Amino acid sequence: MIEFGHRTHVGLRREHNEDTYYADGDLGLWLVADGMGGHEHGEVASALARDVLVREVGNGVELVRAIQIADEEIIRHSTRRSEALPMGTTIAALRVTMGNQFEVAWVGDSRVYVWDEGGLRQLSQDHSYVQELVAQGAITSEQARSHPHRNVVTQALGVTDPQSLRVESLRGELRPGMQMLLCSDGLTEEVKDGAIAAIVARQDLTPQECVEHLILAALDGGGSDNVTVILVRVR
């Protein structure tokens, strides 16, 4: 049995919430999208990504292809606008199918984590400037947390040309006791993985209560950005 919790919060320093999410156990689809673009266009981009994924996955389209279609549709929508500013969004999505098989796919720096007997592990890998520096050995993961360009993403729907878009994905099988965490960087900017793990590990909390604790931790940490969290738990 799968149970889940979900919430988004504007944070303490932003006027608009450009994050959006979707959580549907019947469809077996959960996603987080973090919009960017100013003038509220980030909200449009993230909502478009959500709507396209729900439509395409509902029509039987594979998750990676659905994300590619979302990229194309956001670009089409953006080119019809008169403003020069592009709009884009990250995406982190989880799809669960028959037999508890799962697939996660992502673009940008919204993240997917798994929690199991081995603890909390990040499944996704950020498409970001600082992650490239970490991969090159130029800086450490800890230095990346405070790097002045830590919010620069190298891939985003609506911004990256479809020919260059790199939708990464992983497949696996959900087992009893496993949990999948999807979040925007509003959580990971403010809360370290160890603190996230301590909350997710609490079996006395429901998934929704875990989500509320994670949101509060992000706000206590400064709440500098919109924050969105989904937690999916397998009983």
Task: Please report the DSSP string for the chain in residue order.
Answer: -EEEEEEEE--SS-SS--EEEEEETTTTEEEEEEEESSTTHHHHHHHHHHHHHHHHHHTT--HHHHHHHHHHHHHHHHHTSS-S---EE-EEEEEEEGGGEEEEEEESS-EEEEEETTEEEE-S---BHHHHHHHHTSS-HHHHTT-TTTT-BS--BTTS-TTT---EEEEEE--TT-EEEEE-HHHHTTS-HHHHHHHHT-TTS-HHHHHHHHHHHHHHTT--S-EEEEEEEE-
Whether the per-residue pLDDT at 106 is higher than 70: the answer is yes
Site of tokens 């909200």: 43
Please report the pLDDT score of residue 39 as a whole number: 56
Whether the per-residue pLDDT at 190 is higher than 90: the answer is yes
Mean pLDDT of the chain: 93
Please report the pLDDT score of residue 193 as a whole number: 96
Domain boundaries, given as residue ranges, for the chain: 2-234
pTM of the model: 0.95
Q: What percent of the chain has pLDDT over 90?
A: 77
Residue 161, both tokens: 């040309």
Please report the pLDDT score of residue 82 as a whole number: 59
Q: Assign 80 a pLDDT band (cuts: 50, 70, 90).
A: confident
Candidate from 80-89, 100-109, 168-177, 207-216 with smallest mean pLDDT: 80-89
User: What distance in Å separates the CA atoms of residue 231 and residue 25, rounded to the nearest whole number?
Assistant: 12
Indicate the fold that domain 2-234 takes in CATH: Phosphatase 2c; domain 1 (3.60.40)
For residue range 142-170, what is the model confidence (pLDDT) as tens digits?
888 888 787 789 999 999 989 999 999 99
Read off the pLDDT of each residue in 202-215 and give the average, rounded to a whole number.
97
Residue 152, both tokens: 């620069």
Whether the per-residue pLDDT at 15 is higher than 70: the answer is yes
Whether the per-residue pLDDT at 64 is higher than 90: the answer is yes
Q: Assess contact for 30 and 43: CB atoms under 8 A.
A: no
- Strand bridging mode 19-24 / 29-36: antiparallel
Q: Assign 131 a pLDDT band (cuts: 50, 70, 90).
A: confident
Backbone CA torsion sign across 222, 15, 33, 21? positive
Whether the per-residue pLDDT at 171 is higher than 60: the answer is yes
Q: Within 13 A of 191's CA, how many CA atoms are on the CB side?
A: 27
User: What distance in Å separates the CA atoms of residue 219 and residue 154, rounded to the nearest whole number?
Assistant: 26
User: What distance in Å separates the CA atoms of residue 116 and residue 109, rounded to the nearest whole number?
Assistant: 22
